[in-house]
């Protein structure tokens, strides 16, 4: 009863993109409102968990399947996390901003990867 085409929902919610977007905004605002550093860290953890979930569904959590772009993005996020947890004194006010901006390369790397498509079966 289907013609073999799939239709994407009009309004689709994806936890990874929402967490990265919110983490970046919260990180930028944490420069002005310092207590937003903690929610930025929580959103970064949620974004990383969302990315792992997407990568696991895709089956690319192996060294060969990860790819160069996501590996570099994870390295940048790791460096931003170290800078967030153990900042040098001049970077203390910029901790949330650093962590929020560290999420951006992971979002870019994920958006440039081919999307996961489930096979659509139709009955003859």
Q: Output the six-digit token pair for 104.
A: 């951006």
Confidence bin at 15 (pLDDT 50/70/90): confident
- pLDDT tens-digit profile of 89-98? 988 999 999 9
CA–CA separation, 69 and 75 (whole Å): 10
Q: For residue 23, which of 2, 54, 38, 44 has the smallest C-alpha distance?
A: 44
Q: What is the pLDDT of residue 20?
A: 92
Q: Output the six-digit token pair for 119.
A: 């096979």
Sign, CA torsion 81/91/38/29: negative
- pLDDT tens-digit profile of 41-63? 999 999 999 888 888 887 777 76
């Amino acid at each position: 009863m289907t013609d073999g085409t799939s239709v994407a929902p009009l309004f689709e919610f994806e936890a990874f993109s929402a967490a990265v977007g919110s983490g970046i905004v919260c990180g930028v605002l944490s420069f002005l409102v310092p207590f937003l550093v903690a929610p930025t860290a929580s959103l970064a953890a949620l974004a990383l968990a969302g990315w792992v979930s997407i990568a696991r569904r895709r089956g690319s959590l192996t060294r060969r399947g990860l790819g160069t772009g996501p590996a570099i993005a994870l390295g940048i996020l790791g460096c931003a996390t170290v800078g967030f947890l153990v900042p040098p004194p001049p970077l203390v006010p910029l901790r949330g901003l650093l962590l929020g901006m560290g999420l951006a390369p992971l979002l870019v790397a994920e958006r440039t990867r081919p999307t996961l498509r489930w096979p659509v079966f139709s009955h003859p």
